[in-house]
Every structure is written in C-alpha cells, then in structure tokens.
C-alpha cells in the first residue's frame, strides 16, 4: 500500500475513532452500581441486552439515500443482512463486504474497486482506497 494511502487511511480512522467516542455510552453498558439498596429477596436483578436476535448491531446501519457535504449523494441497501451491502455511487453499483473493526464503526469494502464505506452514528464517509481519495463526507440519511 502506498504511503499516502496508508497515511490517509490512518488519519481517517483516527478521526472517526475520536468522533465516535462520544457515542460509547450508548453502546457500552455502565458498570453495575453497588452503592444502592440490595434487590428484594426472590427478585432477579435487571439485565440489559444490547445485542440480540431482535436487535443485532447491523440494525443501526443507516441505509437509503445518503446526502453528503458538497451536494453529493449515494444510496445504500442491504444485500445480505450482516455481511454485505449494495452501494450505488454515480450510477455504478458496488457490493461491499463488512470488515470487522476494533472501534465499533461499520466498515464495508470492495477490494476490486477500492470503494470503502465507513459509518459511525454521527455520519458516513465514502473513500476510494485505490486512488487514496475521500469521495463523500458528512453523509447522513436524507
């Protein structure tokens, strides 16, 4: 990978990771409180399930028309519930596969075309990894 693409990718990922930190409280449960009263005998403590069959993590993926800064837009639709999505960018159709991330951001890539979609709760970002260029930024449903 050329140094400029690697640098751009690392800079984008760092910015996305930092901007997503404010949303961690929404997805990471807080530690249980121990200073409150004990639960009544015979009652189970309240449990919170963040991910389940009814609420998988990809259910929060924004799909549909994405309106971006600079007046550009693209469309996203799910091709396969968790692993693939279809991206329509400037009249061309791309199928992107999900790539695991340590930050919790959604990252989908098509290595053949170089298209990369990164999505955090606040926005989406579309990149062309082959030429090392940001195609669309500040994208939100609409």
Three-state SS at 53:
coil
Contact 77, 86 (CB under 8 A): yes
- The DSSP code sequence of 56-97 is -GGGG---EEEE-GGG-EEEEEEEETTTEEEEEETTEEEEEE
Sequence-distant (6+) residues with CB within 8 A of 119 are: 61, 62, 105, 106, 107, 125
In a domain, 15, yes or no: no
According to DSSP, the residues that pair with 66 across neighbouring strands are 74, 141
Select, from the ranges 11-20, 54-63, 107-116, the one with the highest average predicted confidence (pLDDT): 107-116
pTM: 0.59
In a domain, 105, yes or no: yes
Confidence of residue 61 (pLDDT cuts 50, 70, 90): confident
- Asked if the model's pLDDT at residue 48 lies above 50, the reply is no
> 131: domain range?
65-141
Q: Which residue has the tokens 């990369």?
A: 116
pLDDT at residue number 53: 53
Between these two residues, 56 and 123, which has the higher pLDDT value? 123
In a domain, 26, yes or no: no
Total of domains in the chain: 1
């Amino acid at each position: 990978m050329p140094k400029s693409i690697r640098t751009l990718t690392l800079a984008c990922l760092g910015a996305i990771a930092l901007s997503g930190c404010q949303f961690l409280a929404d997805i990471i449960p807080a530690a249980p409180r121990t200073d409150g009263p004990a639960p009544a005998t015979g009652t189970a403590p309240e449990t919170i399930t963040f991910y389940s069959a009814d609420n998988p993590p990809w259910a929060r993926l924004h799909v549909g028309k994405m309106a971006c800064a600079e007046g550009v837009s693209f469309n996203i639709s799910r091709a396969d519930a968790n692993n693939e999505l279809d991206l329509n960018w400037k009249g061309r159709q791309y199928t992107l596969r999900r790539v695991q991330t340590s930050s919790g951001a959604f990252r989908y890539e098509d290595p053949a075309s170089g298209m990369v979609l990164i999505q955090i709760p606040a926005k989406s970002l579309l990149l062309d990894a082959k030429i090392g260029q940001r195609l669309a930024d500040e994208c939100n449903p609409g």
